[in-house]
Amino acid sequence: MTERLRSGTAGTTPSSLYDLLSSRAAQGGRSIAISAPGRPQLSYEKLLQQTEYVVGALNSVGVGRGDRVAIVLPNGPEMAVAFIGVCACSTSAPLNPGYRRSEFEYYLADLNAKALLVQAGVESDARLAAAERSIPVLELHATSHGKAGLFRLTGGTTSHPRRSGIAEAQDVALVLHTSGTTSKPKIVPLSHDNLCASARNICEALNLTEADTCLNIMPLFHIHGLVAAVLSSLAAGACVVCTPGFYAPQFYGWLDEYHPSWYTAVPTMHQAILDRAEQNGAVIDRTSLRFIRSSSAALAPSVMADLEATFGAPLIEAYGMTEAAHQMASNPLAPRPRKPGTVGVAAGPEVAIMDEAGSLLPVDKRGEIVIRGPNVMVGYENNPAANATAFTNGWFRTGDEGYLDSDGYLTITGRLKEIINRGGEKIAPREIDEVLLEHPAVAQAVAFAIPDARLGEDIAAAVVLQNGESLSEKELRHFTATNLADFKVPKRVVFLDEIPTGATGKVQRLSLAEQLDLKDDQRGSQHVELVEPRTAVEVKLAELWKEVLKIDRVGANDRFLDLGGDSMLATRLVYRIREEMRLELPLLAAFDAPTVAAQAALVEQILSAPDAGPEDRHGRAL
Ligand code: AMP
């Protein structure tokens, strides 16, 4: 490696990810940077060497500064290290592996990706999309027993990049798409400066030191996991445990194995963790969390109180956003007070409240939350129209509404932008409208948010069919699922003769749930008369439903969704069925076979299939 790569910058404030790592390696090369379940740990020294390896490998196939590398990898240490390595010499664009082929095609084209980085030997829609666009594929090879985050790269054709070597402070390190009011997401370019500033802000807000260990359960294609868990830990010289992603049944095992000092998550995950607390009392007694962090969606004060009581650690709610390289505000650690229901005080950038005309408002006055500071992006890429409305007098308009109290604590009161925040995952409703409208039987479609007890919000769609056409909710949901990732598939579809409009004659997407009277608590009112489960399979399934849904009674004809089920709970139900009955139901079973009776019929069908051996009871063909 060149002298430039080896120089290190211990003692100065790092302004690129490479400098950040090399200064940490110079200070404590042997300390552990990255761990992962079942893998030997990776030190700062080795992480720096691996980063330099990635720089060399990418440069040798013509990828250099300013070039975009789309990364589609499962969560875990390789994803974290690939992200850092790609940023160190080019621009990383992590994409959700759950996207469908058409989504990958869109993103790869929009990014003008120079290469796609994927796991070796695994077929995927991302590869098909790259082949369609003649984008070279780089393959990542890791061994299951190798150090966490070590891998080799193959693929590509030997050539010289336009600009080789290490990226600098102003280079764009990371581009992420953000859902907006239009159907097409906007590109958020984040420089090394932005990322380093944000990582430092998080370190300061949380007093992170070399003694900390973060358990990362957040996806590493989202700003929350990348910056709040991974980069903040590396900026502090701390350790981050990179798990394969959030899986409630394994969470307590990881807590016990790694004794992390903190973790960060979205409220839905916290809720799922709390749901399993009772069975894990002994593990909780052995944990020593210094604090727990929550961000990306509103945390109910009751969940905050339960988490604090359960783990005996403060819950720090923070406010983050992709355009701000994540953190904008955070509740402080003791001795300063945490205020439940607020997202805390400005924690990095300046935070203010602005009216529509662009004037800053005084304490207690509601308006749009605006921010400015070194962690905030300079502007959306190639999007002058969006930038013209997103920035006023140097302030970035978040699209969130709120007020500051006299102590400087920020309360979010609503949203001015048309996104759906489904458990922290942001979705542009217009993207769903467009897919629904592609169905030949659909004349009009409007997707919108409905309240959901677990996710905060979930997706519904109001649909008007073409004259004389008929279509079931199930058919339309399946059609959507072939074109959109699972988390974007509407949970509810309401067929209407016409879509209601507001006073101005326009569809009011933000108030459609209210106009159509679709409230979260109404699901209970759709109960049918309780029919006791009849067969042994129905009885067993009803028991599992009760456990997952945390309710006392379940009838054979009750519908999963009506009892408060959602896709997160459906995942848990499928997992419990696998554990208890040793057979694999498809995830959509909770929706397609919506009652205990229908699911029991599905189970009987799988069990009676002639080739269903005890180890091969899969329901995928159904
Ligand atoms: P993202 O770009 O995916 O990080 O989403 C940013 C948006 O998430 C913000 O503009 C808010 O609407 C929402 N958000 C983030 N943190 C919180 C929070 N603590 N409470 C409520 N909403 C939040």
Compute the distance between CA of residue 565 and CA of residue 492 in angstroms, rounded to an integer: 12
What average pLDDT does this structure show over 497-506?
79
Percent of the chain topping pLDDT 70: 92
User: Which H or E element spans position 430?
Assistant: helix 429-437
Categorise residue 452: left if φ over 0, alpha if ψ from -120 to 50, beta otherwise.
beta
Q: CA 554, 555, 560 angle in degrees (round to 5)?
A: 65
What average pLDDT does this structure show over 418-431?
90
Handedness of CA 220, 224, 229, 230 (dihedral sign): positive
| pLDDT tens-digit readout, 3-33 | 444 433 444 688 899 999 999 999 988 899 9
Whether residue 546 contacts residue 552, with contact meaning beta carbons closer than 8 Å, is answered with: yes
- Residue 151: Cβ-neighbour burial (10 angstroms; 0-12, 13-18, 19+): buried
Question: By alpha-carbon position, which residue is closest to atom 22 of ligand 1?
Answer: 297
Residues 6 or more apart whose CB falls under 8 angstroms from that of 444 comprise: 437, 463, 464, 498, 499
- Residue 354, beta-bridge partner list: 360, 368
**Ligand 1 mean position to 148 CA, how many Å?**
31
**Ligand 1 mean position to 526 CA, how many Å?**
32
Handedness of CA 35, 195, 120, 30 (dihedral sign): negative
**Ligand 1 mean position to 398 CA, how many Å?**
9
Q: Could you identify the residue written with the tokens 């959700």? A: 96
Averaged confidence pLDDT in the chain: 90
- Residue 291, beta-bridge partner list: 262
Q: Residue 365 — φ and ψ, nearest 5°?
A: -90, 135
With a 6 Å cutoff on the Cβ, whether 319 touches ligand 1 is yes
Min mean pLDDT across 242-251, 320-329, 496-505, 603-612 is at 603-612
With a 6 Å cutoff on the Cβ, whether 223 touches ligand 1 is yes
601: tokens are 């019929």
Q: Which pLDDT score is estimated for 521?
A: 44
Q: Point out the ligand 1 atom lying closest to the alpha carbon of residue 222.
A: 3
With a 6 Å cutoff on the Cβ, whether 400 touches ligand 1 is yes
pLDDT tier, 134 (very low <50, low <70, confident <90, very high otherwise)? very high
Write the secondary structure of 501-567 as one string of H (helix), E (strand) and C (coil).
CCCCCCCCHHHHHHHCCCCHHHHHHHCCCCCCCCCHHHHHHHHHHHHHHCCCCCCCCCECHHHCCCH
Q: Which pLDDT score is estimated for 385?
A: 93
Q: Residue 169 — φ and ψ, nearest 5°?
A: -50, -45
Q: Is the pLDDT of residue 139 over 50?
A: yes
- Residue 366: Cβ-neighbour burial (10 angstroms; 0-12, 13-18, 19+): middle
**Ligand 1 mean position to 507 CA, how many Å?**
24
Q: Which pLDDT score is estimated for 389?
A: 94
With a 6 Å cutoff on the Cβ, whether 212 touches ligand 1 is no
The string of DSSP codes covering 265-334 is E-HHHHHHHHHTTGGGHHHHHH---SEEEE-SSPPPHHHHHHHHHHHSS-EEEEEEEGGGTEEEEEPPPT
**Ligand 1 mean position to 132 CA, how many Å?**
35
| pLDDT tens-digit readout, 283-319 | 999 999 999 999 999 999 999 999 999 999 999 999 9
With a 6 Å cutoff on the Cβ, whether 298 touches ligand 1 is yes
Whether residue 70 contacts residue 93, with contact meaning beta carbons closer than 8 Å, is answered with: yes
47-61 b/e with 16+ CB inside 10 Å = b?
Answer: bbebbbbbbbbbbbb
Question: By alpha-carbon position, which residue is closest to atom 1 of ligand 1?
Answer: 321
| pLDDT tens-digit readout, 21-79 | 999 999 988 899 999 999 999 999 999 999 999 999 999 999 999 999 999 999 999 99
pLDDT tier, 583 (very low <50, low <70, confident <90, very high otherwise)? confident
Compute the distance between CA of residue 370 and CA of residue 258 in angstroms, rounded to an integer: 38
Q: Is the pLDDT of residue 520 over 70?
A: no
Rg (CA), the chain: 25
With a 6 Å cutoff on the Cβ, whether 296 touches ligand 1 is yes
Categorise residue 66: left if φ over 0, alpha if ψ from -120 to 50, beta otherwise.
left
Residues 6 or more apart whose CB falls under 8 angstroms from that of 397 comprise: 354, 368, 370, 389, 390, 391
Whether residue 68 contacts residue 114, with contact meaning beta carbons closer than 8 Å, is answered with: yes
Q: Residue 340 — φ and ψ, nearest 5°?
A: -55, 140
Q: Is the pLDDT of residue 615 over 60?
A: no
Helix, strand or coil, per DSSP, at residue 425: strand
| pLDDT tens-digit readout, 220-253 | 999 999 999 999 999 999 999 999 999 888 999 9
Q: Which pLDDT score is estimated for 182?
A: 66
Q: Is the pLDDT of residue 405 over 70?
A: yes
Residues 6 or more apart whose CB falls under 8 angstroms from that of 579 comprise: none
With a 6 Å cutoff on the Cβ, whether 90 touches ligand 1 is no
Q: Which long-range contacts (CB under 8 A, 24 or more apart) does 283-289 make?
A: 283/252, 283/253, 283/255, 283/256, 284/252, 284/255, 284/310, 284/311, 286/256, 286/259, 287/255, 287/256, 287/259, 287/311, 288/259, 288/261, 289/260, 289/261, 289/262, 289/263, 289/313
Min mean pLDDT across 60-64, 182-186, 429-433, 601-605 is at 182-186
First to last CA, the chain: 54
Q: Which pLDDT score is estimated for 9?
A: 41
Q: Which pLDDT score is estimated for 527?
A: 40
Question: By alpha-carbon position, which residue is closest to atom 5 of ligand 1?
Answer: 321
The residue among 522, 543, 553, 523 whose CA lies nearest residue 599 is 543
Q: Which pLDDT score is estimated for 574?
A: 83
130: tokens are 């790259």
Q: Which long-range contacts (CB under 8 A, 24 or more apart) does 311-317 make?
A: 311/284, 311/287, 313/289, 314/338, 315/291, 316/205, 316/206, 316/291, 316/292, 316/344, 317/293, 317/342, 317/343, 317/344
**Ligand 1 mean position to 567 CA, how many Å?**
21
Q: Is the pLDDT of residue 507 over 90?
A: no
| pLDDT tens-digit readout, 203-216 | 999 999 999 999 99
372, 376, 378, 381: CA torsion to nearest 10: -140
Q: Which pLDDT score is estimated for 181?
A: 66
Provide the 10 A C-beta neighbour count for residue 581: 17
DSSP secondary structure letter of residue 593: S
With a 6 Å cutoff on the Cβ, whether 39 touches ligand 1 is no
560 or 152, which is more confident: 152
| Cis? peptide before 335, omega within 30° of 0 | yes
**Ligand 1 mean position to 319 CA, how many Å?**
6
With a 6 Å cutoff on the Cβ, whether 421 touches ligand 1 is yes
Q: Which pLDDT score is estimated for 92?
A: 98
Q: Which pLDDT score is estimated for 526?
A: 40
With a 6 Å cutoff on the Cβ, whether 343 touches ligand 1 is yes
Q: Which pLDDT score is estimated for 184?
A: 80
Q: Which pLDDT score is estimated for 341?
A: 93
